[in-house]
Structure 1
Amino acid sequence: MKNILVPTDFSENSWNAIKYALEFFKDTPCNFYLLHVTLISNYAAGDSPIFPTDTLVEKTILKQAKSSLIKLLKKIKKLKANEKHNFYTLSNYNFFIDAVRNQIQEKDIDLIVMGTKGASGLSEVIVGSNTGDLITQVKCPVLIIPEEAVFTIPEEIAFPTDYNIFYQPNILKRISEITKMYDSAIRILHIAKKGEKLTEFQLENKDFLNDYFLDEKHSFHRITSKKIETGVQCFVESRNINLIIMIAKNLNLFQRILFKPTVEEISYHIEIPFLVLHE
């Protein structure tokens, strides 16, 4: 049984994330935990947060959240029923990251699914937001669902890397789990500047990836581009990519792809789901 945490603010993009997750894991037994966090920062006297009694929190601050979660649960149950899925509602009065960390520990969470609104560029929306804090501060896999993402079987998965990181087998195993779910092909992508050659260390890491994915559909791709995000966009369009997988440890590449794209021609951040993995 997979335990999945789905933070929600009851917006359309968080609803889209829920629908995507239900489709993505339709053949997988799952416990879905729907979490709404009423932020402590919303209740403050000047710069000082207010910490009321537990009774007051339950009767007043969380009353509306609990009501909205019940409505959300009813909305989910109007969708096609899936006997493999169980749903639970959670409401917390806390700081967002603290609330998520608590639930990860208490519920033994395997994955977080989070919707994001990316109409004007992912960096403007995620950086400094709940989603940005989540993927950089919480050591748990996060599946990010952009507001315009529509579920399609992830036949083509992009795995951008600069080969400067040795990926531990436990990380690669998580990628393999997804490729085996849908018989997906993993496309290992390297964005390089013109004339740039791989070092011996990079070549060793590339060979390791080739050996690891030997029994799975995979291929290596190199795109020459001055900007990493432009190269990713080109690859996404040319290969009809359905999912992008990133390793947070590969910090430079991770930040460039997820947090830098703001120009109009970069659209992958509002259409293609991202899976962020941590070691």
Structure 2
Amino acid sequence: MKTIVVPIDFSDISNNAMEYAIGFAQNTGSTILLFHAYQVPVSMTDVPIVLVSVEDLQKNAENKMAEVKRFVEEKTGKGTKIYAETKLGDTVDELENICSHVKPFAVVMGTKGATGLERVIFGSTTLTTIKHLTWPVIVVPPGKKYSAIKKIGFACDFREVVRTTPTHFIKDFVTEFNAELHVLNVDYRNLHFKRDTPEESALLHTMLEDLSPSYDFIEDENIEAGIEKFAEKNNLDLVITIPKKHKLLEGLFRKSHTKDLLFHSHIPIMCVHE
């Protein structure tokens, strides 16, 4: 059975991602594993002082997790298995250990944590997780509610497609939802067009032909902005990106220059490594 791992820190952003994960798990028949890591706070003085005992931290974390687990169980009924785990340690390290053990279908996270650093576009934990975790990570924007995944975008630059495209994962994921696949390529006056671009695009077409994807060539000076506009106009439910090759994550969740709202915050991003 598939497993969806949901790291939580009990913040509103985390809870929203958890509710998205509930719908995602029910849609795929997956088990949900709720996970929380806690650390011992230390006073930054000449002589470090532990502010709270490990026993108190553990009890508090376990009590909160028990409440969350009950909430999820009530929400899902008997049709979805729910597990919960709390660990003392670094969130990303412990998350990596758990993922290595359960081999999740995906990790579902929010974009900000409970630290309250409103000027940071992503919580540092989410960014670090995306960089280091080899399992697929779905980043859920604030306020996003789960809806059936019918249209999926894949951001591609047509460079070294054989080496860098996670073909098997994309095929399995798109097939799981019986979704449309849109291969998204952004260029402006052929600035990114190379001699091998036609060959690379032909290779990708062969690799993904079983899915009958549509190829959408977007004219825009800014790659991230071009994908944002296309995703909104064409009602994409999720965009797959390769973190090493795109700054799409930053683009889709950055603050608007004219509004105090997150730009296009309704689009979840799935990060899949090469």
Superposition TM-score tier, normalisation by shorter sequence: 0.7 to 0.9
C-alpha separation in 1, matches of 2:78 and 2:199? 44
SS at match of 2:35: strand
Identity %: 24
Which residue in 2 is equivalent to 1:24? Answer: 24
Which residue in 1 is equivalent to 2:206? Answer: 211
Tell whether 2:73 aligns with 1:77.
yes
Which residue in 2 is equivalent to 1:43? Answer: 42
- After TM superposition, give the deviation of residue 145 of structure 1 in Å: 1.0
Tell whether 2:109 aligns with 1:114.
yes
C-alpha separation in 1, matches of 2:48 and 2:56? 16
C-alpha separation in 2, matches of 1:20 and 1:191? 29
Task: Extract unaligned runs of 5+ from structure 1.
Answer: none
- After TM superposition, give the deviation of residue 132 of structure 1 in Å: 0.8
C-alpha separation in 2, matches of 1:95 and 1:199? 43
Which residue in 1 is equivalent to 2:238? Answer: 243
Aligned amino acid, residue 272 of structure 2:
L
- Figure out how many residues of one structure are paired with residues of the other and give that number: 264
Task: Extract unaligned runs of 5+ from structure 2.
Answer: none
C-alpha separation in 2, matches of 1:50 and 1:140? 36
C-alpha separation in 1, matches of 2:189 and 2:101? 49
Quick one: structure 1 residues 223 and 27, their matched pair in 2 at CA, closer, same or farther if it must change by over 3 Å?
closer
C-alpha separation in 1, matches of 2:156 and 2:130? 18
C-alpha separation in 2, matches of 1:201 and 1:49? 58
C-alpha separation in 2, matches of 1:208 and 1:245? 19
Which residue in 1 is equivalent to 2:223? Answer: 228
Aligned amino acid, residue 76 of structure 1:
V
Which residue of 150, 156, 164 corresponds with 1:161? 156
Tell whether 2:152 aligns with 1:145.
no
Which residue of 152, 176, 180 corresponds with 2:175? 180
Which residue in 2 is equivalent to 1:258? Answer: 249
The question of whether the paired residues in 1 share the 8 Å contact of 2:6 and 2:109 is answered with yes
Could you tell me the TM-score, scaled by structure 2's length? 0.85
SS at match of 2:241: strand
Which residue in 1 is equivalent to 2:58? Answer: 62
Aligned amino acid, residue 137 of structure 1:
H
The question of whether the paired residues in 2 share the 8 Å contact of 1:123 and 1:262 is answered with no
Quick one: structure 1 residues 170 and 220, their matched pair in 2 at CA, closer, same or farther if it must change by over 3 Å?
closer
RMSD between aligned residues? 2.7
SS at match of 1:200: coil
Which residue in 2 is equivalent to 1:86? Answer: 81
Aligned amino acid, residue 9 of structure 1:
D
C-alpha separation in 2, matches of 1:202 and 1:82? 51
Could you tell me the TM-score, scaled by structure 1's length? 0.84
Quick one: structure 1 residues 246 and 81, their matched pair in 2 at CA, closer, same or farther if it must change by over 3 Å?
same
C-alpha separation in 2, matches of 1:278 and 1:160? 13
The question of whether the paired residues in 2 share the 8 Å contact of 1:123 and 1:258 is answered with no
Which residue in 1 is equivalent to 2:120? Answer: 124
